[in-house]
Structure 1
Amino acid sequence: MTEAQGAIEELLPRVTADRPDIYETLLGALAHGEVWMLLWHGRPGDPDAQYGSVEVAGHGYAPAVTSPAELAASGWPRDHEVIGGRDIAAALYPDHWGLWLNPHTPGGGLGVPWADLRRIAGGLDRLPAGPLVITEPTAPAEPFYRRLADEARRTPVLRSLRRGWVRPAVGSAYLVIGLEVDDPGEAAESVRRMMARAVEAVPDGLAVATVAMADAYDPVALWLRARARPFYSAPTAS
């Protein structure tokens, strides 16, 4: 058993709601390990192969086990597929499917929601640890907001700016700026330069991040679209 596999099996029974640090370590091990996906139809590599499914609280999960020993213990009578944790995360999250580990064990195993699979696929160090608490920002940063709006007026691809305060389960809270642009691909460099100029006005000690409003999977972008009114909107053409 590899070090990552050993870590997955050692950490799984230790995950509790009040220990997000252990859960975060488990996600890191899963990113570097493998899982044994339980196939409901077909064989590994078949174009019509289909993973099993579990529905919990209205959300779909694909069941998996974490080692050959757990596969034997599960008594699964059909075929299975061994796949890297990062690869299965990238395959499942776009369809809002999570991963349910060792459902045969006492207590029913552990579910990894699709939002955390997205973090595994995209990089745990790049995306905040959930569950996230997102609210309106209260930190005094008016000079920064004014600078952002001034820079936005000089950046034609930018359509609007929103803001929120994000408190991740692990790590420090930060101010997030939601960026709505005309063409995310074409706008990336001009928006990066705009933010580089604007951050000169960020108050000392205030952490700032950005999120693309076009990201249909980012929970921060989803919250901003639903709850935050733009503090800057580009003038509409008359």
Structure 2
Amino acid sequence: MAWQWFHRLGSPRWFFEKTNAWIPWLAAISISLLIVGAVWGLAFAPADMKQGNSYRIIYIHVPASFLALAGYYTMAISGAIGLIWKMKLADMVMKSAAPIGAVLTFVALITGAVWGKPTWGTWWVWDARITSMLVLFFLYLGVIALQEAYQNQDTANKASAILALVGTVNIPIIYKSVDWWYTLHQPATIKFTSESTIHPTMLYPLLVMVVGFYVFYALVLLMRTRTEILSREKKTRWVQELAVKT
């Protein structure tokens, strides 16, 4: 059953038709979670004892950072599937994920700078975590550039997938940078193997925002992939029939 479902994903038409009903639900869930999390974190969570209200940037910074890393894995895995199984839909997901990841990484860098100014006294330092995140941003831009650099789509897909896969070595560096090197960036406050160092009154709205960002990411990736399907399959009969109906 699972293998049959996997092969169905190779059909852009099946994916497009199957996911049509998901969009309203994902939109409603993501908007609800983001509103609840933002209001809870910005208006009702207590101020930090040392950082005051400046810490509240984490309700944007942390979810954006999480998704920047997870989104890169999504892009790289899709690229690998496209290389190995020649699955057109996987190539479309890879291309669609690149600009979303670039935006999220940019947001993480900017919000980190906004938090760093009152905390460290400067907008930017060549900290291990920050520098590796900057490398991640350039990797995303590299995949985007490769997609536009080749007229042949298959060549663009292969080049982008190879770069995405090579770039995965940077992800564990980002994760472990605060442990491997002396760094200004604080260690992880949300931990799954031990007790988190953030107070529950601050943690719960942050978790709501993280889940909201993940659902929103799924929504945007789905919509971009559906748009890419229509663009690449525009000469097929089913897309032409769909255009006539709409």
TM-score bracket for this pair, using the shorter chain length = under 0.3
More strand by share: 1
Structure in which a larger fraction of residues adopt helix: 2
Report the TM-score when normalising by structure 2.
0.23
TM-score by length of 1: 0.24
